[in-house]
Amino acid sequence: MKNIDSFIRPDIRELKGYHVEDIPCRVKLDAMENPYPLPDDLWTMVIKEVKGTFINRYPDPKAAGLKRVIAKQLDVVPEDIIIGNGSDELIQMIITAFCGFHEKILYPVPSFSMYEIIARALGRGTVEVLLDDKWDFPLDEIKERMMDGDIKIIFISYPNNPTGNCFSMERILRIIEGFEGIIVLDEAYFDFSKKTFLSYLKEFNNLIILRSLSKIGMAGLRIGFLVANRTLIETIVKVKLPYNSNILSQVVSRVVLENRELIDAQVDSIISERERLLKGLEGMEGVTPSPSEANFILFNTYEEAIVIYNRLIEKGILIKKMDDSGRLKNYLRVSVGRFEENDDFLIGLKDSLGEP
């Protein structure tokens, strides 16, 4: 037997991967999923197209059909788009293409944990800059740090996960203008905020917009996409695995997007439920919610968050506990569910607060 440990890249040995909680619960509000299944009419159309798909053939490496629909809805051309196996894979491609080994990426914290996890797996360094006390973008600090020559990419989640707010657009624009490197605007929750930097792509050629279909009802399909100028696209395509997007996800997501109005109705419900949930949390003793332009709400608990989190699980309600080592100590995050799920959560939370 060989000494296998010595074959592992040293920085991988210490790495902790992404941990997915697997706690079966009646009410699942932990993962920012669209709580509504595909409407029946849409499901019928989807199944019809699936039946006409030849899974024995390789998928279209360019995902032309899907890109055409996305391009039309975004008013861009298909050549400005890359489809990823989820945004995660696009983050991986961007770091691979633009950041050398032991060069660095920068992101504010708290933010989406995969920026750090993917960068570390790829052997890249990370620079974290704390959000201010309104969860907004710390412009001066980032401006200072980004002058370090080894920072190649800045990731900005907009709206930010897990805080739910959109950072000041003015501050972000100052960074895009001043940074000699790639800026990734991760707009995974765009459909709930309706705010985007898409129109700035013409002005700034170092900008990449990331989007996802995961939050609007297609988390299972793993379809993310990015939009950027042609030079960036051509570079990222070089590191893209040719058949990274499978044939069924391409077909199904295309049909769903062609019938977007059915999904948009679900998004509208989620937005109005978010507002109801926020009011419910604001009216509750013992918690302070953060305003949200996404499909989830972060809230602070006066008691130990983990205790409340566990009490909710006992009631069959799963939300997300945050890393309690830093700024998110005693914070929990709830994804917006269906009406009755949100009611269950609000009642369950109330019952969980101030228990002996």
Q: Identify residues 258-277 at the interface with a second copy (CB under 8 A).
A: none
Q: Is 261 exposed, middle or buried (0-12, 13-18, 19+ CB in 10 A)?
A: exposed
CA distance 43 to 52: 14
Query: Which part of the chain contacts a second copy (CB under 8 A), choosing from 219-227, 308-316, 323-331, 340-348?
Result: 219-227
Range 95-98 contact pairs with CB under 8 angstroms and sequence separation of 24 or more = 95/119, 95/122, 95/124, 95/153, 96/122, 96/239, 97/235, 97/236, 97/238, 97/239, 98/152, 98/153, 98/181, 98/182, 98/235
Residue indicated by tokens 């401006």: 143
Number of residues that bind a second copy (CB under 8 A): 83
Q: Identify residues 281-310 at the interface with a second copy (CB under 8 A).
A: none
Question: Between 10 and 356, whose beta carbon lies closer to a second copy?
Answer: 10
Question: Is residue 24 involved in binding a second copy (CB under 8 A)?
Answer: no
Question: Between 85 and 165, whose beta carbon lies closer to a second copy?
Answer: 85
Minimum separation from the CB atom of position 285 to a second copy (A): 33
Question: Is residue 339 involved in binding a second copy (CB under 8 A)?
Answer: no
Question: Is residue 125 involved in binding a second copy (CB under 8 A)?
Answer: no
Phi, psi for residue 258 in degrees, rounded to 5: -65, -20
Query: Which part of the chain contacts a second copy (CB under 8 A), choosing from 129-137, 157-165, 227-235, 338-346?
Result: 227-235
Question: Is residue 149 involved in binding a second copy (CB under 8 A)?
Answer: no
Among 77, 130, 147, 241, binds a second copy (CB under 8 A): 241
Among 45, 71, 237, 262, binds a second copy (CB under 8 A): 237
What is the distance of C-alpha 32 from the center of its chain? 9
Among 75, 238, 261, 325, binds a second copy (CB under 8 A): 238
Q: Is 49 exposed, middle or buried (0-12, 13-18, 19+ CB in 10 A)?
A: middle
Q: Identify residues 91-120 at the interface with a second copy (CB under 8 A).
A: 92, 96-102, 118
Q: Identify residues 155-214 at the interface with a second copy (CB under 8 A).
A: 180-182, 204-206, 214
Minimum separation from the CB atom of position 78 to a second copy (A): 14
Question: Between 133 and 202, whose beta carbon lies closer to a second copy?
Answer: 202
Strand partners, 109: 130
Question: Between 45 and 284, whose beta carbon lies closer to a second copy?
Answer: 45
CA distance 346 to 281: 7
Among 76, 128, 141, 235, binds a second copy (CB under 8 A): 235
What is the distance of C-alpha 235 from the center of its chain? 23
CA distance 91 to 291: 27
Question: Is residue 56 involved in binding a second copy (CB under 8 A)?
Answer: yes
Residue indicated by tokens 């602070």: 300
Q: Identity (one letter) of the amino acid at 180? A: E
Contacting residues for 134 by C-beta, under 8 A, at least 6 apart = 165
Among 77, 130, 147, 239, binds a second copy (CB under 8 A): 239
C-alpha closest to that of 100 among 156, 143, 149, 157: 149
Query: Which part of the chain contacts a second copy (CB under 8 A), choosing from 36-44, 141-149, 159-167, 334-342?
Result: 36-44
Minimum separation from the CB atom of position 303 to a second copy (A): 29
Among 55, 77, 265, 347, binds a second copy (CB under 8 A): 55
Neighbouring CB atoms inside 10 A of 70's CB total 21
Question: Is residue 34 involved in binding a second copy (CB under 8 A)?
Answer: yes
Question: Is residue 123 involved in binding a second copy (CB under 8 A)?
Answer: yes
Q: Identity (one letter) of the amino acid at 30? A: D
